[in-house]
A and B are shown apart, each in its own frame.
Chain A
Amino acid sequence: MSSSVKARLLIIVLAGTTGSLAVAEDLRGPETFASITNQSERSRALFVEAGRVLQHPRCVNCHPVGERPTQGNDAHPHSPLVVRGPDDKGAIGLRCTTCHQNANYEPSRVPGHPLWHVAPKSMAWQTKSLGQICEQIKDPRRNGGKTLAAIHEHMAHDSLVGWGWMPGANREPAPGTQAQLGALIAAWIESGAACPVL
């Protein structure tokens, strides 16, 4: 048996014993859209591609419209029942940090990060169209007073955003990489930050 066949068999065996392996989907880079000569159309196409990250469960689960975040790729209500609370970090007595520590904890599969919290209500993405999310992201009254440059910085370098690609416990990561998202957002801003039709 050749080594490549052995390697394939090993992968099949491992997949059979551990369940389906969560693998990030690819994300197309800005160069893919260079052939779109109309600048606004190119900008919208860039945002639609970035939207595959923004609307991925690893991101949107913690951008709830109401009081409760969701979990999983099926966006089921968070268990146990938790609410955003007055500071988006949980209720008195049941804070996010009651369960979520500074890092993913594999023995219990509980995800973690030092800044774990849900997005403010003004940044709710669940149930919103990609066009609505785009307009919201650009609106300083709803995005925490951020400029487009600050939005790029947030998307490209914020470490809690980056958790979406390192979710642990065989959760499916967001598509591509955080660097690729940053490149898409930079190109979107450079091309006029046009939004998809609402």
Chain B
Amino acid sequence: MSVTLNINGTRRDFDGDPDTPLLWVIRDELGLTGTKYGCGIAQCGACTVHVDGQTLRSCSAPVSAVAGRQVTTIEGLASRTAKAVQKAWVDLDVVQCGYCQSGQIMSATALLEKKPKPSDTDIDRAMAGNICRCATYQRIRAAIHAASAQLAG
């Protein structure tokens, strides 16, 4: 059975089991490996993508759930907000091992798209589902504030 997807603005067809996790399709079928497999049970956030602008854990959603919807992966993240987040990540040297960071950036961007001037509490609540084994949480929070300031300026 075929599922038609819109990934990063491009129409893609997936011919397989519609119950396949979206993450498998993104990584194994489409070769977009920036989105990471972490836990497979929606506990870590490494597989976060955007669907119609909202965060979604792609390990825990069947590919059929996003048929006809706009899916954005880390490779397709290009909005003004996303660029501010990416710049802040580089400026503050947020990344340590980096494995979780595409998921962190996806969640941070989704937060700032909806709330351009988030408080620490807003950040903590939006990012609570994104785990970082290197514990870069303080730099992540600082970088979100920095991106917010950049967007406001």
- Which of B41, B62, B126 contacts A109 (CB under 8 A)? B41
When the two chains form their complex, are residues B43 and A80 in contact, meaning their CB atoms are under 8 A apart? yes
Q: Which of A79, A92, A102 contacts B43 (CB 8 A)?
A: A79
- Contacts A91-B126, A94-B128, A97-B54; A107 near B114 (Cβ below 8 A): no
- In this assembly, does A83 line the interface, its C-beta being within 8 Å of a C-beta of chain B? yes
Q: Report the minimum CB–CB distance from A107 to chain B (whole Å).
A: 6
Name the CB-closest residue of A to B20: A107
A102 to B65, Cβ gap below 8 A? yes
B86 at the interface (CB under 8 A from A): no
> Number of residue pairs across A and B with beta carbons under 8 Å?
81
Residue pair B107, A99 in contact (C-beta under 8 Å)? no
Q: Is B125 part of the contact surface with A, judged by Cβ < 8 Å?
A: yes
Cα(A110)–Cα(B57), bound, Å: 11
- Chain B CB within 8 A of A4 CB: no
Query: Does chain A have a CB within 8 A of B34?
Result: no
Contact A108 B40 (CB under 8 A): yes
Contact code string A50-91 (vs B, CB < 8 Å = 1, else 0): 000000000000000000000000000001111101000001
Q: Given A93-B111, A108-B59, check contact A80 B54 (CB 8 Å).
A: no
Query: Which residue of chain B has the shortest Cβ distance to A108 in the bound complex?
Result: B60
B26 at the A/B interface (Cβ < 8 Å)? no
**In the complex the two chains form, is A107's CB within 8 Å of B21's CB?**
yes
Residues of B within 8 A of A108 (CB): 21, 40-42, 59-60
Q: Is the CB of B129 within 8 A of A101?
A: no
Q: Does B151 have its Cβ within 8 Å of any Cβ on chain A?
A: no
Among residues 96 to 126 in chain A, which have CB atoms less than 8 Å away from a CB atom of chain B? Answer: 97-99, 101-102, 105, 107-110
Check A95–B54 contact: CB distance below 8 A.
Answer: yes
Which A residue sits closest to B107, measured CB to CB? A93
- With beta carbons under 8 angstroms apart, the residue of B41, B122, B129 that contacts A92 is B122
User: How many B residues are at the interface, by size bracket?
Assistant: 20 to 34
CB distance from A77 to the nearest CB of B (A): 11
A95 CB, min distance to chain B CBs, angstroms: 6
Which residues of chain A are near B59, meaning CB under 8 Å?
A: 108
Q: Which one of B21, B114, B122, B129 contacts A98 once the chains associate, using CB atoms below 8 Å?
A: B129
A91–B56 touching, CB < 8 Å:
no
Most buried by A among B48, B122, B129: B129
The answer to whether B55 has its CB under 8 Å from any CB of chain A is yes
- Chain A residues closer than 8 Å to B61, beta-carbon distance: 101, 105
Measured CB to CB, the nearest residue on chain A to B57 is A99
CA distance A104 to B65 in the complex (A): 12
Q: Does B132 make an interface contact (CB < 8 A)?
A: no
Interface pair A101/B62, CB less than 8 Å apart: yes
Listed from nearest, the 8 A-B pairs whose CB atoms lie closest are A93-B126, A93-B111, A91-B125, A80-B129, A108-B60, A81-B128, A99-B42, A110-B60
A-B contacts, 16 of them at CB < 8 A, read: A80-B128, A81-B129, A82-B129, A92-B125, A92-B126, A93-B108, A93-B115, A93-B122, A94-B126, A95-B55, A97-B54, A98-B54, A98-B56, A99-B42, A102-B65, A110-B60
